[in-house]
Each structure stands twice: as structure tokens, then as C-alpha cells.
Amino acid sequence: MTSSAWLQVESAVRMLLAETPTMPASVIAERVGWTGSISWLRENIARLRPEYAPADPADRLVWLPGDAVQCDLWFPPVKIPTGAGHQASPPVLVMVACYSRFITAVMLPSRTTPDLIAGMWLLLRDQLRAVPRRLVWDNEAGIGRRGYLTGEVTSLIGVLGCRLVQCKPYDPETKGIVERANQYLETSFLPGRTFSGPDDFNTQLAEWLPAANRRMVRRLDAQPAQLIELDRAAMLTLPPVAPQVGWRQQVRLGRDYYVRVASNDYSVDPAAIGTMVDVTAGLDQVIVTRGGQVLARHRRCWSIRQVITDPDHVETAARLRAAYQQPRTTTDPDAGLVRDLACYDTAFGVTIEGVAS
């Protein structure tokens, strides 16, 4: 009976698949008025669908030592305190060496270009300790869009001496290695852990990664920690001069003596009011300088719309304000001097009646 019921709707199913090859079986059942077994219908639709849906083959990619590192952002499904009573799920930059499957990762304050560049350099310098010939990214806005990299990313790649390749849309297989690493982090690192803040998260992550890189990868029949040296040997060496990374700007310090970095305001020595100051911010610190002299040094705030103030700056501002408001005494250079007008007559040889010059 089920077979005859299928024959009654087969032509209608074929018409729906010809128009929309990816239409779900549950929707097709509703459209054709199917009242029988849904599993039976699914089996028959699965048999017909390849006739209408175009094939999407996935090539088997072969990675050579030192060739590529896949990069991605993982957003842990947990809320982490970021300060000032706020909680958030900051992004974790994950970079995996394709040949050895060696995982490196660090939590970042944001997914903006300066923080992405600072995170990439940190992982290459401290964890991977080498530069792959290619960095593989998806179409992350902070990296670039529509085939064009941001200026800061282009500068970083120039200093590193490698290439950055962005995957085509709808091609997840190209960076499947890092996607699996993200899933591994979520299922093996995250469960049962609590975090007091981003620093605590990064500390626990750094302690866990060595064990993760000693896992046995069945496809390689080896541990990433065993293969990473072969991977590094084929990579480029780190540049002799470190690239400039993070937030960098030059601004004129206003009367309120604060500068803004990523929606947060940081106080600066008020003695620099009205002058141009240089603001640099990495993943951990915000530093303000003028002519090489440090005017402010703050810990980077991971929250948003916060005001970070150094008490010494407030005291300096109070002294400068009091000095400015103090009444000024003017001194007249001629005050207290009385000159005899006859001196001018003498000077110009003028004779007044009865008086000899």
C-alpha cells in the first residue's frame, strides 16, 4: 500500500524537486498531502534528489609542511566578566597549522582589525614561533572584503613575507581543519570550566593547549606536538623587526585630558593639554606618549563605554586648575616713579622765562 501511495505522489514530488532541488522532505510531504510514513517518503526523495540537485564535490586537500595555517574566530557559548559589571563572549582567535594540526589560540578584546592583527602576531611569535607561507582566512570583515585586504593587514603580511588567502564564499571545506579545532575547543576545553575574566580564560587555555597538541590525530597517526618541528622547519622565520600592531593614533589632547580607544576613555597627564600625543593600544595595555615620554599607561579595558582614570592625573589637573584660577597680580614698571617735567626742558634745551636750561 505504501508503494502505491508513493506512485500517486511521485510525479508531484518530481515537479517540486525540479523547481527547488533542496526543498526539505517535510515541506514536500506537506505540499503533496502525504499522510503515510515520513521515513518512507524521505527514502524515496533521497533516491530522486541527485537527479535534480547539482553535485557539490569536495576535493581532498593535501597540506605540505610549512605551507599554511588556517585562521578563524571562535565565540565560546559562555558569558565572561569583562569588568564594570558587564559580561560578554569575546572572540577567540584560533590558528591551526594544516600539516601538523598544531592548535594555537588566544581570546581577543574584539574582532576589529587592530586586535586581529595583534592576535595573529602574538600567536605566530609566542606559540607557533614561525611564519607559514600562507595564512588562510574566511571573509572576516576585519581582514578584508571582496578580494581587498585592509591596509593594516597588508602591512602585516608585507613584514611577515607571506601571503594571506581568503576563502571563497560557501566553501567551508577550505578551512575545515580550523573549524574542527573550534568544535574540539568547545567540546573538550570548555565543559566544566568557569572563568573570572578574559585573563583567566587565556591562562586556562594556555595551560590546556599543550595537552591538546599531544592528542593522537587518526588521520595523521601522530600527535601534532610530534609533527610541529617538521612544520616549523619548512616555514619562514620570524621577521627581525617586529611589525607595528594594535591601535595607533595621534590626537590633540583636549581640556578633559582623555583619549578614546575602542569606545573606552583613558586619562592622560593634563600637563599635555593642547599638544599632540601618540596613542598605542595592544591586547593588554593602552599607552600614551609625547616625544617618547610616557604620559599614561593603563590596563586595556575589555568592557564598553567605560572611563578609566589614573588618580595622579586627577591630582595634577586639580593643581593646574587652581593655578589657572589664582588671581594674577600685574606689576606696572612705572609704578612709584615720579619724574620732574623740568627734566624734559633740560633735555631739549628749552628756556622758560626766569629759568635757565
| pLDDT tens-place string over residues 80-92 | 999 888 899 999 9
Task: Count Cβ atoms within 10 A of the Cβ of residue 201 and give its class: 0-12 exposed, 13-18 middle, 19 or more buried.
Answer: buried
Q: How confident is the model at residue 335 (pLDDT cuts 50, 70, 90)?
A: low
Element (H, E) at 178: helix 176-184
| Per-residue cell: 343 | 627734566
For residue 327, pLDDT over 80 is answered with no
Q: Residue ranges per domain, the chain?
A: 2-51, 68-233, 247-325
Share of the chain above pLDDT 90, in %: 68
Nearest to 227 by CA among 97, 49, 46: 97
| pLDDT tens-place string over residues 197-240 | 999 999 999 999 999 999 999 888 999 999 999 999 999 999 99
Cβ–Cβ under 8 Å, residues 235 and 131: yes
| pLDDT tens-place string over residues 255-298 | 999 999 999 999 999 999 999 999 999 999 999 999 999 999 99
Pick the CATH number of 68-233 from 1.10.3210.10, 2.30.38.10, 3.30.420.10, 3.40.640.10: 3.30.420.10
Report the pLDDT averaged over residues 329-357: 62
For residue 331, pLDDT over 70 is answered with no
Q: What per-residue confidence (pLDDT) applies to 1?
A: 47
Most confident listed range (33-37, 282-286, 336-340): 282-286
Contacts of residue 97, Cβ cutoff 8 Å, sequence gap at least 6 = 68, 69, 104, 128, 132, 224, 228, 231
Report the pLDDT averaged over residues 335-345: 63
Q: What per-residue confidence (pLDDT) applies to 357?
A: 46
Q: What per-residue confidence (pLDDT) applies to 125?
A: 96
Cβ–Cβ under 8 Å, residues 243 and 160: yes
Lowest mean pLDDT among 23-32, 98-107, 165-174, 309-318: 165-174
Lowest mean pLDDT among 7-11, 124-128, 280-284: 7-11
How far apart, in Å, do the first and last CA atoms of the chain sit?
146
As a whole number, the mean pLDDT across the chain is: 89
